[in-house]
Amino acid sequence: MKKKLSALISALLGLVVYTSCNAVESGQPAPKCEIAALGSSSATDTSRYQGKVVYVDFWASWCPPCLKAFPFLNTLDYDLHDKGLEVIGVNVDENISDANEFLKNHASSFVVGSDTKGVCPKSFGVMGMPSSYLIDRKGIVRLVHIGFRESDREELRHSIEKLLGDNDQISSASNTENLNHHQ
Amino acid sequence: MKRVKWTNAGGAFCLVLALSGCTSVAPWERGNLAKPIMAPDPAPLQSSLRVHVYASREAAGAATFGAAGGGCGCN
């Protein structure tokens, strides 16, 4: 009886571990994610932005912290777009009219797309709402952030600016390398 | 002995039947669960008013509301 019980418990634990294993972690390549047009943005996919630092945010109209994150995403796009940052908001509402209604009241300056089938969040292994992924110029995930609080602003912005700076250095270093190679 | 076996089988069957109703809902699929109507108390303002009126008529403090009742309905 004890053996059966322990087998059942370990099977349940295994299931929990299995579900959390699917999540994309820092250092792993970002999965390709195709998103449909939404609001004023046209259809796109995350692999189109290779060579840019990409901040992907999964949001839904029914999620209050997602609403809180919206002004932060707008600020990021406004301040850092010219420095090579692309902010992409992936809406995961099952009913697209909910997302459109949300966007009527909350303007977004960044790229917004829709994934009603939940393919993108599944491939990223989203663990909570909102979830954001910071992807470097080579397509590698550098930061995974679940949830959003006002106090997270500074830390997130610091990480993004650091990555933008790092990549500048990397690209300038590789350019110098290429120049030396050609000489 | 045979009866115990049948009881065990029945228990296991009920357990499997109950567990089949359980499912994990992905974080991005919780739109319907997040609707106010799905909350344990979908109308908190209305229910607090009801408790208030009920408690005042009952002439006893309601445990949920905390207001003392006097029977006059004026608390």
Nearest CA to A46 among A105, A131, A124? A124
Distance CA A112, CA A60 (A): 11
- Joined tokens for residue B19: 């567990």
The string of pLDDT tens digits covering residues A70-120 is 999 999 999 999 999 999 999 999 989 999 999 999 988 999 999 999 999
State the smallest CA–CA distance between residue A21 and chain B in angstroms: 14
Question: Token pair 């972690």 is at which residue?
Answer: A25
pLDDT at A58: 96
Answer yes or no: do B28 and A95 touch at CB < 8 A. no
Buried b (16+ CB within 10 A) or exposed e, A145-161: bebbeeebbeebeeebb
Q: Would you say residue B20 lies in a domain? A: no
Distance from the Cα of B58 to chain A's closest Cα (Å) equals 39
- Between chain A and chain B, the number of residue pairs with CB atoms below 8 A apart is 33
Tell me if B56 is assigned to some domain.
yes
User: Mapping DSSP to helix (H, G, I), strand (E, B) and coil, where does residue A98 land?
Assistant: helix
Q: What is the number of residues in chain B?
A: 75
Q: Please judge whether A122 and B26 are an interchain contact, meaning their C-beta atoms are less than 8 angstroms apart.
A: yes
pLDDT tens, residue by residue, B27-72: 999 998 988 888 888 888 898 888 888 877 776 655 665 555 555 5
pLDDT in the model for residue A153: 93
pTM over 0.80: no
Gap between the Cα atoms of A106 and A113, Å rounded: 15
Tokens 């590789």 -> residue: A174
Task: Count the domains in chain B.
Answer: 1
C-alpha closest to that of A110 among A143, A78, A139, A79: A78
Do the domain assignments include residue B50?
yes
User: Higher-confidence residue: B46 or B74?
Assistant: B46
Closest CA to A162 of A49, A84, A109, A88: A84
* The pLDDT value given to residue A173: 41
How do beta strands A111-114 and A85-91 pair? Answer: parallel
Greater pLDDT, A62 or B75: A62
Please report whether residue B17 resides in a domain: no
pLDDT (0 to 100) of residue A85: 94
List the beta bridge partners of residue A29: A140
DSSP-assigned letters across all residues of A6-53: HHHHHHHHHHHHHHHHTS--TTSBPPP-EEEEBTTBPPEEGGGGTTSE
Cβ pair B28:A60 closer than 8 A: yes
Give the domains, in start order, of chain A with CATH numbers.
Answer: 29-179 (3.40.30.10)
Please give chain A's pLDDT, 183 residues, in tens: 566 666 656 665 555 555 555 788 888 999 988 888 887 777 888 888 888 999 999 999 999 999 999 999 999 999 999 999 999 999 999 989 999 999 999 988 999 999 999 999 999 999 999 999 999 999 999 999 999 999 999 999 999 999 998 755 444 444 434 434 443
pLDDT of residue A179: 37
Which chain A positions have a beta carbon within 8 Å of B36's beta carbon? none
The pLDDT of residue A180 is: 42
The interface predicted TM-score of the complex, written ipTM, equals: 0.72
Residue B13, min C-alpha distance to chain A (Å): 15
Cβ <8 Å between A126 and B26: yes
Q: Quote the domain boundaries for residue B54.
A: 44-75
- The alpha carbon of B37 is separated from its chain's Cα centroid by a whole number of angstroms, namely 13
Of B74 and A172, the structure prediction assigns the larger pLDDT to B74
B24 falls within a domain: no
Residue closest to B65 by CA, chosen among B42, B55, B46: B55
